[in-house]
């Protein structure tokens, strides 16, 4: 059994290997500052690639999306893995066996996940606008004209991801990937829906690498709820990297059921996103833009929601300002949650987000025209920098 503990360490000054600057806002695992990653990616990103290679190697996974010219292409997400004979895809759930792709999990028959009932109202990223926590969309999409006290969310924690976030707040999903268990079919998961469950939320890890399982579960759950004329909202917390065809189907299910899609927009600058997650953010942003049409058609309850984790030293006011401008261009009313960072996984030597940092980002987002900006995890805010 794999078990690892990544301990928090007190922030100390580290020196950027590119510019020589010293700061407590430089993560040792990266060894480079945010400014160099953004302004001098040619010099800074090789250090980040080393960090991701280390991260993935701990769990016996490919250090980067495979690009074997003779490999078989997956096509499920942004990574577009071309998997060599006997090799795995970046997510760890797809294998090339004899020139054919075998999906080890993420199919309707086998989902790699953990699940639990989460009493409403819950600490969902979208809690400040979602039907389960506010009653938005009552009576069509919510049982109560306020928090759905007495009802539950079926929380589905998927054990794989298409990103490799070095700051991952739920890093232990990697243990599930490495063990390839527990497994559960879509039919069995949907059977957990009962009259007290009013919504399903897929998170992780990320649902993007197991969309076939999530989509089938959603269809079965909605059908099950019809037996008692119940509400069954379908919601997603995702990095938004999935194939558009699959995302569009997810969007239709969420739109019709009163659910929402919450995109975690890690960064605006592509090099920052690559440094922090190992993967580009171009498809994430394009997918989000495409979903804008659904937001305009159903603004209440909000269909599309964005969040950004304020990683000290890397996701600064400029990153948030650019993301906010992007969101406002789609609609100024898109809810945007700025989340306070807690040191986790391989970036456990950074401080928590400072109150000044969060408030400056809030101000910048509003200046770009957004009307519904929220600071989440406020109890984590510090005065460390």
**To the nearest whole percent, how much of the chain has pLDDT over 90?**
96
Which structural domain range is residue 69 located in? 62-104
- The per-residue pLDDT for 182 is 98
- The per-residue pLDDT for 8 is 66
- The per-residue pLDDT for 7 is 63
Number of domains the chain contains: 2
Confidence of residue 4 (pLDDT cuts 50, 70, 90): low
Whether residues 99 and 123 fall in one domain? no
Does 226 reside within a domain?
Answer: yes
- The per-residue pLDDT for 123 is 87
Specify whether the CB–CB gap between 363 and 338 falls below 8 A.
Answer: no
Whether residues 305 and 365 fall in one domain? yes
Nearest to 266 by CA among 182, 375, 339, 359: 339
Does 41 reside within a domain?
Answer: no
Whether residues 243 and 287 fall in one domain? yes
pLDDT tens digit sequence for 222-238: 999 999 999 999 999 99
- The per-residue pLDDT for 71 is 97
- Write the CB contacts of 22 (distance below 8 Å, at least 6 apart in sequence): 13, 14, 15, 16
Whether residues 78 and 223 fall in one domain? no
pLDDT tens digit sequence for 339-355: 999 999 999 999 999 99
Res. 2: pLDDT tops 80: no
Whether residues 119 and 166 fall in one domain? yes
Rounded to whole angstroms, the Cα distance separating 339 from 84 reads: 38
Q: What are the C-alpha distances in Å from 334 to residues 190, 288, 301?
A: 30, 11, 11
Does 298 reside within a domain?
Answer: yes
Does 203 reside within a domain?
Answer: yes
Whether residues 97 and 116 fall in one domain? no
CB atoms within 10 A of CB 50: 14
Whether residues 124 and 195 fall in one domain? yes
Whether residues 67 and 144 fall in one domain? no
Q: What mean pLDDT do residues 358-375 have?
A: 98
Whether residues 265 and 301 fall in one domain? yes
Q: What mean pLDDT do residues 138-148 have?
A: 97
Res. 1: pLDDT tops 80: no
Whether residues 97 and 118 fall in one domain? no
Specify whether the CB–CB gap between 355 and 348 falls below 8 A.
Answer: no
Rounded to whole angstroms, the Cα distance separating 219 from 201 reads: 14
pLDDT tens digit sequence for 289-317: 999 999 999 999 999 999 999 999 999 99
Say which CATH number the domain at 162 has: 3.20.20.70
- Write the CB contacts of 153 (distance below 8 Å, at least 6 apart in sequence): 117, 118, 119, 120, 122, 124, 132, 197, 198, 199, 200, 201
- Write down which residue in 51, 86, 104 finishes a domain: 104
**To the nearest whole percent, how much of the chain has pLDDT over 70?**
98
Query: Across the chain, what does the average pLDDT equal?
Result: 96
Q: What mean pLDDT do residues 73-80 have?
A: 97
Record the pTM: 0.95
Rounded to whole angstroms, the Cα distance separating 2 from 4 reads: 7
pLDDT tens digit sequence for 277-288: 999 999 999 999
Does 233 reside within a domain?
Answer: yes
Does 56 reside within a domain?
Answer: no
Confidence of residue 76 (pLDDT cuts 50, 70, 90): very high
Whether residues 68 and 188 fall in one domain? no
Rounded to whole angstroms, the Cα distance separating 61 from 205 reads: 15
Res. 374: pLDDT tops 80: yes
pLDDT tens digit sequence for 153-172: 999 999 999 999 999 999 99
Whether residues 116 and 84 fall in one domain? no
Does 53 reside within a domain?
Answer: no
Does 338 reside within a domain?
Answer: yes
Specify whether the CB–CB gap between 334 and 298 falls below 8 A.
Answer: no
- The per-residue pLDDT for 3 is 41
Confidence of residue 9 (pLDDT cuts 50, 70, 90): confident
- Write down which residue in 77, 104, 131 finishes a domain: 104
């Amino acid at each position: 059994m794999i078990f690892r503990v990544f301990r928090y360490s007190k922030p100390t000054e580290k020196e950027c290997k590119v510019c020589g600057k010293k700061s407590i806002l430089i993560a040792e695992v990266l060894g480079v500052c945010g400014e160099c990653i953004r302004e001098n990616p040619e010099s800074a990103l090789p250090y980040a690639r080393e960090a991701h290679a280390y991260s993935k190697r701990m769990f016996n996974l490919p250090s980067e999306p495979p690009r074997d010219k003779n490999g078989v292409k997956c096509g499920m997400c942004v990574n577009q893995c071309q998997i060599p004979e006997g090799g795995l895809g970046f997510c760890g759930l797809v294998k090339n066996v004899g020139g054919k792709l075998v999906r080890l999990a993420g199919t309707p028959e086998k989902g790699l996940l953990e699940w639990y009932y989460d009493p409403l109202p819950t600490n969902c990223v979208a809690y400040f606008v979602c039907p389960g926590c506010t009653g938005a969309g009552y009576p069509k999409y919510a049982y109560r004209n306020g928090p759905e006290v007495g009802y539950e969310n079926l929380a589905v924690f998927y054990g794989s991801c298409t990103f490799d976030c070095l700051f991952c707040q739920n890093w232990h999903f990697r243990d599930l990937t490495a063990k390839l268990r527990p497994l559960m079919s879509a039919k069995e998961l949907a059977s957990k829906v009962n009259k007290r469950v009013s919504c399903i939320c897929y998170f992780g890890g990320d649902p993007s690498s197991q969309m076939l399982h999530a989509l089938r579960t959603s269809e079965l759950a909605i059908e099950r709820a019809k037996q008692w004329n119940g509400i069954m909202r379908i919601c997603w917390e995702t990095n938004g990297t999935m194939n558009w065809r699959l995302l569009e189907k997810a969007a239709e299910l969420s739109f019709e059921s009163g659910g929402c899609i919450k995109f975690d927009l890690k960064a605006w600058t592509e090099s920052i996103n690559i440094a922090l997650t190992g993967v580009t953010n171009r498809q994430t942003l394009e997918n989000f833009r495409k979903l804008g049409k659904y937001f305009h058609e159903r603004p209440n309850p909000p269909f599309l929601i964005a969040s950004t984790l304020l990683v000290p030293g890397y996701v600064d006011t400029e990153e948030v300002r650019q993301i906010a401008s992007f969101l406002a261009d789609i609609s100024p009313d898109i809810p945007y949650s700025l989340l306070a960072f807690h040191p986790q996984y391989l970036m456990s030597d950074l401080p928590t987000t400072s109150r000044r940092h969060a408030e400056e980002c809030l101000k910048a987002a509003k200046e770009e025209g957004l009307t519904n900006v929220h600071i989440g995890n406020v109890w984590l805010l510090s005065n460390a920098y």
